[in-house]
Amino acid sequence: MAERVYVSGWGIISALGNNVEENLYALKNKKSGIAHPEFLHTNYAKQKVFGEVKHSNDELKIQLGLKTSKTVSRTALLGMVAAKESIETSGLSSHELKSTLFFNGTSVGGMDISERNYKVFLDNEKLDYKSSFSGHDCGHSTESIANFIGSKGETSTISTACSSSANTIMQAGRMIKAGKAEIAIAGGTDALSVFTLNGFNSLKILDDNPCKPFDENRKGLNLGEGAAYLVLESESSVNRRGAKILGELIGYGNANDAYHQTASSPEGTGALNAMKKAMNIAGNPAIDYINAHGTGTGNNDMSESIAIKSLFQENIPNYSSTKSYTGHTLGAAGAIEAVFSLLSINNNVVFPCLRVDSPMDILPKLPIFNVNDQEVNCVMSNSLGFGGNCSTLIFRK
């Protein structure tokens, strides 16, 4: 018999706060973390707004007990903060961590360090190439975080753009369900970088003001950064440890519409297929809330709305996009919004879209505008990545 997959721990850091409690407070009080950057050094600092974590790298190192002289990418530092909290909330022991799997999703990796060292390289200053750029690879961040938390089991890195960390949660859930693992830490981390900013700016999909997902006059997304991880555990392991259950992962699905490198298909094919697969695995439960991908771009919000309408017809669940709080955290988005989905379940509350003045009229139901107290038993969370890599997770109380 297949194992059930429970969530026994969570951890998060985002523009909203340094832990789960701070993020919940901001969500419930409609406090957005989007603002002009303090730590991202870019010529666009006064022109564009971001969901930047409100701590410098040195502050993060001190919080983690690391020497400020130690070279660690911001991506890894954010991941360490969130992974550490997930372990603390789950009550995992150092002995249990030795066999715990670690799945990490990221798209940026150690880009921030590479950018700083590249400037040194261009100025013809002395530079050890290997030590300066060895942390660039996405897998290096995974190894750094795993070593920090003491995870000795299998490690894996998934980089599928904006669906990266949703896919790590799906993969961990599949392995536990199949009896291939008992405990896994899964999620993702991404930091702001000039490379990412310039890339998205070249696509002309950045809003200079705080984004407005599902608004008729939306102008684009805001880039964000952060990290989040879930401790996923088999039913037998939860019972043996007496672990507290935060929710159950009951459905997951991944599809690729392969329509365009940086745009979703107009018909929402990938999103629809991902949602259908997740619903099928979950046993077609009643969905109380959809945490939509909802980036605020013209293409994404239209495509996702069409997919939601195709699946649910006239019975549209309550839905919103929390990217209006955090910005689009890229490879970390799926995991951050998985934590938000579980917060919704555990607190019986739906978090609203912010700044929606003229809502889109594609769906027969408008997005949630205000903090909505309601019974929340089942949440669907969508993550739609570049290249059409679309993933859906479904959590149950």
| CA-closest candidate to residue 174, choices 255, 274, 253 | 253
The CA distance from 341 to 335, in Å, is 10
| CA-closest candidate to residue 327, choices 279, 295, 352 | 295
- Tell me, yes or no, if 353 is annotated catalytic: no
- Tell me, yes or no, if 95 is annotated catalytic: no
Residue with tokens 């059930």: 4
Task: Out of 136, 138, 140, 162, pick the active-site residue.
Answer: 162
CA 1 to chain centre: 31
**Phi, psi (5° rounding) for residue 356?**
-85, 110
Which positions ≥6 away from 239 have C-beta within 8 Å? Answer: none
Task: Out of 328, 353, 378, 390, pick the active-site residue.
Answer: 328
- Tell me, yes or no, if 328 is annotated catalytic: yes
Helix-helix angle 74-90:57-64, to 10 degrees: 30
**For residue 191, with 0-12 CB atoms within 10 Å meaning exposed, 13-18 middle and 19 or more buried, which class applies?**
buried
Dihedral over Cα of 47, 52, 56, 57: its sign: negative
Answer yes or no: are the C-beta atoms of 107 and 137 closer than 8 Å. no
Give the single-character DSSP code of 36: -
Element (DSSP H or E) covering residue 359: none
Which positions ≥6 away from 385 have C-beta within 8 Å? Answer: 160, 161, 162, 163, 164, 391
Task: Out of 55, 136, 140, 293, pick the active-site residue.
Answer: 293
**Phi, psi (5° rounding) for residue 19?**
-160, 180
Which positions ≥6 away from 225 have C-beta within 8 Å? Answer: 14, 15, 50, 51, 52, 53, 74, 78, 190, 191, 192, 327, 329, 332
Residue with tokens 């199949």: 178
Which residues are catalytically annotated?
162, 293, 328
